[in-house]
A and B are shown apart, each in its own frame.
Chain A
Amino acid sequence: MKKNTKELKALIKKYNISVTIDKNMPDHSNDPFVLAKLEKAEKFIAEHGLPESSNIKLKSKKHKKV
């Protein structure tokens, strides 16, 4: 974990990724588009599952791993 985080930080530095923090930035969690995308994602996983290689522990058996 530490190695990965360190390497990611190095990559961010290497690529000079410019990022600033805006503490007043609106949260888009309740935007209709975001909610629709979330619903679509839930349906997609329920229907098609996740790859066997995924580390996600699914809450329900109906969300199968394939």
Chain B
Amino acid sequence: MILDQYPIISDSSHLNYKFESIGPKGIIKKAVKYTAVTSIGKNIYNLSFGDLNKISGEIDDTVVSNNNDTNKILLTVGLTSLLFANHFPNAEILIVGSTISRTRLYQMAINQNVIEIGKFFDLKGFRNGNWGKFKAGINFEAFLVTKKLNNL
């Protein structure tokens, strides 16, 4: 099965991933970063995703690139989580959007890949002050992706 994804480049730490969005606006470099939240505990990582600023080279999520390839981008971001989990099997990924629209975007990415993600990961969503099972069609404020114990 070949998915409509962008080729992914990873560094040797497997914490940084990048790919290029190709569309009407040209080639836009994207990056996904998994950061260990060491102050909280071991094996918890925070996901950051955005465009790579052309001048500074830093990740910037304030840009809305509108390159007509949202689904392909979201799938590619989702696939980085599989690659990440392959190297960090005990990691749990916290996803908190920097804005409501960004959180929505992450939710779309999870919705899009929920069947395959659900085979390996438990998906929890935070809403109205409570964590609960992720459900498509409900807007959450944050997400926690945890590997299923029965696959250990």
Given A1-B89, A54-B146, A56-B40, A26–B57 Cβ distance below 8 Å?
yes
Query: Residue-by-residue, is A1-41 near B (CB-CB < 8 Å gives 1, otherwise 0)?
Result: 10111011101101111111111011111011110111011
A60: chain B residues within 8 A (beta carbon): 40
For chain A, the count of residues having a C-beta within 8 Å of the partner chain is 51
Contact of A11 among B44, B116, B131 (CB under 8 A): B116
The secondary-structure label for the interface of chain B is mixed
For chain B, the count of residues having a C-beta within 8 Å of the partner chain is 59
A51: chain B residues within 8 A (beta carbon): 124, 131, 144, 146
B85: chain A residues within 8 A (beta carbon): 8
The yes or no answer to B101 lying at the interface (CB within 8 A) is no
B41: chain A residues within 8 A (beta carbon): 56-59, 63
* B8/A54 in contact, CB under 8 A: no
Query: Residue-by-residue, is B98-132 near A (CB-CB < 8 Å gives 1, otherwise 0)?
Result: 10000000000000000010011010101001110
Given A7-B151, A15-B79, A18-B7, A28–B131 Cβ distance below 8 Å?
no
* Cα(A42)–Cα(B89), bound, Å: 22
Given A4-B147, A16-B1, A41-B94, A59–B40 Cβ distance below 8 Å?
yes
Given A25-B9, A41-B46, A48–B40 Cβ distance below 8 Å?
no
* A27/B16 in contact, CB under 8 A: yes
Query: Residue-by-residue, is B47-66 near A (CB-CB < 8 Å gives 1, otherwise 0)?
Result: 01010000001111100000
* Cα(A16)–Cα(B5), bound, Å: 10
Contact of A54 among B15, B18, B57, B144 (CB under 8 A): B144
B binding-site residues for A, Cβ under 8 Å: 1-3, 5, 7-13, 15-16, 18, 31, 33, 35, 37, 39-44, 46, 48, 50, 57-61, 79, 82-83, 85-86, 89-90, 92, 94, 96, 98, 116, 119-120, 122, 124, 126, 129-131, 142, 144, 146-147, 149, 151-152
